[in-house]
Amino acid sequence: MSKPAKTHKIKMMEEQLAKKLNRQVVGSLVGCVHCGMCNDCCHYVLTHPDDPKMTPSYKADQVRKLFKANHDWTGSVFPWWVGADKVPLTDDDLDTLKDVAFGTCTNCRRCTINCPMGVDTATLNRIMRGLLTNVGVMPEGVRVVSKDQWELGNQMGVLKEDYIDTLEWMSEELEEDLGHGEAEIPIDKAGAKIMYAINPREVKYDPRTIKEAALIFWAAGEDWTMPSEGWDNTNFGLFSGDDGLGGACAKREYDKARELGVDKIVISECGHGYRSTRHEGVNWSGEAEPFPMESSVMTMLSYVKEGKIVVDPTKNTKRVTFHDSCNNARSCGFYEEPRELLRLVTTDFQEMYPNRAEGFCCTGGGGAMSMSEYTPRRLKSGEVKANQIRETGAEIVVTSCHNCVDGLGDIIKHYELGCEVKQLVDLVADALVLEECAVMKKRPVTAAKIEVTEAPAAKVPEAAPAVAVDLPLAGRKILVVDDEEDIRIFLVTVFEDAGAEVIEASDGDECIAKAKAEKPDLISLDLSMPGKSGVDAFVELRKTPETEEIPVCVVTGHPEFRQVIYDRPVPPPEGYLNKPVDEDKLVSYVAHIIETKDEKES
């Protein structure tokens, strides 16, 4: 039977491959001896022992076959002899390749450091991703996120006004915490020493980290700013293999830093953001080290060492362990600073084994959080990390990466580990002794010791009468949708205590009916429900004219439904919170979503 002719996409991939070849890549392509030693180093292999296709060399062989068929002596003449006869030929083959390259590897590079031949298997997998992306074959989540990053300058589609609004919101919260407005977040301050670039997840789902960082910068007396553009330190080009996107994202940051005339870019705690901005972006954009760049962990550590901020480790007494982001540890050699800082701000640090460059992936790397179709496999592969965490006995898993926060959060929930995930910025902010920090030494101390970790929304002066007008959700109508009665009661109580009028629904159909009838100010939506699921209900809400404008805050315990954020045929939800949810965070978050909508309408 004759083979089908190569499709246009395959030919394009072959052309692209030729452009991606350099000595190091070719060395990795010809150097593999198929010894299988990379096998037991991969978390996918260890958790899928009956599936030989999980082995790293098989994944790398997908691009190796293309190379051998087109560039290698033996492969060109006798392709079957070296396995180069099994190259992809049809577009269906490309779908299979997509599942291999995106769905069975997080590009964590653990196989690379365990290869006796020095083959960089993860880089080969990234090349395959790039070839597929170039011909439009990629998971839907990767497509949406890449599009957002190309068009809006950030991977979560955050509009500029929403970003600025969030920074102003955090400035207001800081003012409430501190009793003065001196810690206001500076935006586009020309000539500042530091430009602080963040992960869009912070704006969209965890703005408290921005507030905490701002507090630390202020406490240290730092001359800093956040840019109005070029603020996204993340880079989906690293995940999709698209060097063009990678270069464009990095250049936005560098250009903005140049425009502002800052001395240094400080990158918030994000593993791939650090790698992309600090290292790969330099190469992709063709700029030879445009600025000094460092992780915010290094900045915070230097503040403590230089005495600019004073920390009290006894404020963090729970047992903590540290998870190394693969991008930080394996690809950037960045693993000692977070440990040093952790020891300064906590009292009970327990190392996780293996660690540093040998640590296992959290399963959230390589853009895996945006590929919800692979979530069940990803969660299964998390068993290795779950066992690592369990053995430490830690109550808190600390990491310096937002993807790891989500990846670890999913694992902790899935394997019922009963601990929480935090970042260094959370712990440093918790441990601050503000009255002894640099900024307080320069001014008369008037403020009492400030408890910075307390969420502002929960702060109701004891003496103040509990009148409805002072409550954050006073006059608001909220529809709570959840099939579990206990959770519904909890949410209703929290919202009612915050002053809201609350209506309830226990499934998707009821949700849609009540949303149309009651026109709530916000819907708190569970995703996993019997009958019409929350995902289907969400899409219908968005597609129905009477309900499309109602803000939705997803409150879910099922990470596999994260597709409503990434893999979306409709605009994403305004908020997304994982169960169990913190009461104060829930109220302040929901209040902010409603206020933002009000401001837009006015």
Partner 1 sequence: MHESSSLLHTAEVVHWAALIIMAVVYSLRLRWLFSFKPGADKSAPGAPDRTDKKRGAFYSVFNVAMPWSMESTRKGFVFYLTFVVFHLGIVAGISLAFLSTITPNFVAKPAFAWIIGSTLFLAFLVAIYRIFRRLLRPVMRLISTPDDYFSLFMLTVWFGLGVLTQAHMAGVQGFESVVFLVAYLYLTSFFLLYVPFSKISHYLYYPFTRIWIGRALGHRGSYPIVRG
The residues that touch partner 1, with contacts defined as CB under 8 A, are: 21-28, 30-41, 45, 52-53, 55, 57-58, 61, 73-74, 80-83, 112-120, 278-280, 282-283, 286-289, 292-293, 329-336, 339, 351, 354-358
* Closer of 82 and 447 to partner 1 (Cβ): 82
Helix (H) / strand (E) containing 129: helix 121-134
**Are the beta carbons of 135 and 12 closer than 8 angstroms?**
yes
- Cis upstream peptide for 354 (omega within 30°): yes
* Closer of 30 and 439 to partner 1 (Cβ): 30
* Closer of 85 and 373 to partner 1 (Cβ): 85
* Closer of 158 and 357 to partner 1 (Cβ): 357
Helix (H) / strand (E) containing 251: helix 243-260
* Closer of 326 and 478 to partner 1 (Cβ): 326
Distance of closest approach, residue 53 Cβ to partner 1, in angstroms = 7
CA atoms of 342 and 377, how far apart (whole Å) = 32
Strand partners, 39: none
Distance of closest approach, residue 298 Cβ to partner 1, in angstroms = 11
Exposure on the CB side of residue 234, measured as CA atoms within 13 A: 28
CA atoms of 199 and 155, how far apart (whole Å) = 9
Distance of closest approach, residue 230 Cβ to partner 1, in angstroms = 18
Q: Which of 456, 472, 584, 577 is nearest to 521 (CA)?
A: 472
* Closer of 92 and 336 to partner 1 (Cβ): 336
Secondary structure (3-state) at 394: coil
CA atoms of 60 and 48, how far apart (whole Å) = 18
Distance of closest approach, residue 372 Cβ to partner 1, in angstroms = 28
- What is the SS3 string spanning 73-111? HHHHHCHHHHCHHHCCCCHHHHHHHHHHHHHCCCCCCHH
Distance of closest approach, residue 399 Cβ to partner 1, in angstroms = 17
DSSP output for 568-602: -SSPPPSEEEESS--HHHHHHHHHHHHHHHHHHH-
Structure tokens at 111: 């196989």
Pairing of strands 552-556, 522-525: parallel
**Are the beta carbons of 239 and 367 closer than 8 angstroms?**
yes
**Per-residue DSSP letter, 232:** B
CA atoms of 471 and 482, how far apart (whole Å) = 24
Q: Which of 560, 491, 506, 581 is nearest to 537 (CA)?
A: 506
CA atoms of 599 and 367, how far apart (whole Å) = 33
Distance of closest approach, residue 473 Cβ to partner 1, in angstroms = 47
Distance of closest approach, residue 245 Cβ to partner 1, in angstroms = 18
Distance of closest approach, residue 120 Cβ to partner 1, in angstroms = 6
- Cis upstream peptide for 580 (omega within 30°): yes
* Closer of 287 and 509 to partner 1 (Cβ): 287
* Closer of 31 and 136 to partner 1 (Cβ): 31
Distance of closest approach, residue 378 Cβ to partner 1, in angstroms = 21
Distance of closest approach, residue 217 Cβ to partner 1, in angstroms = 23
CA atoms of 370 and 389, how far apart (whole Å) = 24
* Closer of 33 and 570 to partner 1 (Cβ): 33
Give residue 277's Cα distance to chain centre. Answer: 15
Q: Which of 124, 399, 438 is nearest to 271 (CA)?
A: 399
Distance of closest approach, residue 344 Cβ to partner 1, in angstroms = 17
* Closer of 302 and 528 to partner 1 (Cβ): 302
* Closer of 115 and 523 to partner 1 (Cβ): 115
**Are the beta carbons of 136 and 142 closer than 8 angstroms?**
no
Place of tokens 């207001």: 172
Q: Which of 378, 374, 371 is nearest to 141 (CA)?
A: 371
Distance of closest approach, residue 283 Cβ to partner 1, in angstroms = 6
* Closer of 19 and 441 to partner 1 (Cβ): 19
Structure tokens at 52: 């030989």
* Closer of 286 and 444 to partner 1 (Cβ): 286
